[in-house]
Amino acid sequence: MTSPMPPGQTSLLLQMTQRLALSDAHFRRICQLIYQRAGIVLADHKRDMVYNRLVRRLRTLGLDDFGRYLSMLEANQNSAEWQAFINSLTTNLTAFFREAHHFPVLAEHARRRTGEYRVWSAAASTGEEPYSLAITLADTLGMAPGRWKVYASDIDTEVLEKARNGVYRQDELKTLSPQQLQRYFMRGTGPHEGLVRVRQELANCVEFAPVNLLDKQYNVPGPFDAIFCRNVMIYFDKTTQQDILRRFVPLLKPDGLLFAGHSENFSNLVREFSLRGQTVYALSKEKA
């Protein structure tokens, strides 16, 4: 005969299995808070995604009501939970050498420049983009100290930690040549079989830091020869996009390039940038 479960455990089990209610008012508050903190615009069709991601936070904290969770956030503007809230609601779709047409453009641009070539990956996610930039520059310019540097940032601290670790499944590197895989990654063995890690020599050329693109000033070591800000502007409204692009202007060297995502068009947003190629922009002549 099975012993009855203690009341506290019964309550916890019910909390873990019952679907919590997310009211229209609570969803609107969530949308408002993530917009204020990260500039992200959440459409109505994202409601299920918001629920599924935030309910994990509630259960981790032992809460059974979205209203209590939101009130807890709003009561302490400096709470560490704000970062967990942001991390839960950011989207981190990425891949090595995604939008492959950009990398030959970067390589050719780097060949023509003198001094240290500096690139900023402004939405680095889990690291695939900045390491793709690093591989491109290493193949193009070599690994001599001071020849090039990649700076990588993201608002999501969890994905940045994964990026710093530089560990990936081997099947995530299908777009790399066998030579690149051997030159820039170490294969795992035993319990780590099927995993690869970025070699330290390459990792040393990539610097990671948290940056919120909503901030009025970015704590990054510009100016840069190139800025990659791909597939992140689509989550912002037009005004936020314009503000971010204008903050990029003093962070680009003369004849520097700005790389956008495949579904992003900056041409009609601000006068400061003009199209140079397929989703590649440069400062307009009067701003250069």
Q: What is the pLDDT of residue 11?
A: 47
190 and 54 in one domain? Answer: no
Q: Which of 66, 89, 112 is the last residue of a domain?
A: 89
98 annotated ligand binder: yes
Evaluate whether residue 154 is within a structural domain: yes
Q: Which of 62, 89, 116 is the last residue of a domain?
A: 89
**Which amino acid would we find at residue 144?**
A
Judged against a pLDDT cut of 60, whether residue 176 lies above it is answered with: yes
Q: What tens digit of pLDDT does each residue of 177-232 get?
A: 999 999 999 999 999 999 999 999 999 999 999 999 999 999 999 999 999 999 99
Q: Which residue has the tokens 């900056």?
A: 266
99 annotated ligand binder: no
Mean of pLDDT values over 140-157: 97
Q: What tens digit of pLDDT does each residue of 24-64 get?
A: 999 999 999 999 999 999 999 999 999 999 999 999 999 99
Judged against a pLDDT cut of 80, whether residue 137 lies above it is answered with: yes
Please tell me the distance from the alpha carbon of residue 16 to that of residue 14, in angstroms, as a whole number: 5
136 and 82 in one domain? Answer: no
Could you tell me the pTM of the whole model?
Answer: 0.86
Evaluate whether residue 212 is within a structural domain: yes
Q: What's the total number of domains in the chain?
A: 2
Evaluate whether residue 179 is within a structural domain: yes
- Residues taking part in catalysis: 53, 154
Evaluate whether residue 217 is within a structural domain: yes
47 and 183 in one domain? Answer: no
Evaluate whether residue 288 is within a structural domain: no
138 and 27 in one domain? Answer: no
262 and 205 in one domain? Answer: yes
143 and 254 in one domain? Answer: yes
94 annotated ligand binder: yes
261 and 208 in one domain? Answer: yes
Evaluate whether residue 76 is within a structural domain: yes
Domain with residue 208: its CATH number is 3.40.50.150
Judged against a pLDDT cut of 80, whether residue 107 lies above it is answered with: yes
273 and 201 in one domain? Answer: yes
Domain assignment of residue 118, given as a range? 102-283
- HSE-up (13 A, CA, CB side) for residue 109: 27
48 annotated ligand binder: no
234 and 110 in one domain? Answer: yes
40 and 165 in one domain? Answer: no
231 annotated ligand binder: yes
Number of residues that this document lists for the chain: 288
Q: Which of 89, 115, 150 is the last residue of a domain?
A: 89
154 annotated ligand binder: yes
140 and 265 in one domain? Answer: yes
Judged against a pLDDT cut of 70, whether residue 78 lies above it is answered with: yes
Q: For residue 244, which of 219, 220, 215, 267 has the smallest C-alpha distance?
A: 215
Domain with residue 47: its CATH number is 1.10.155.10
Q: What is the mean pLDDT of the chain?
A: 92
148 and 226 in one domain? Answer: yes
Please tell me the distance from the alpha carbon of residue 21 to that of residue 144, in angstroms, as a whole number: 57
Residue 61's φ and ψ, nearest 5 degrees, are: -90, -5
3-state SS record for 30-51: HHHHHHHHHCCCCCHHHHHHHH
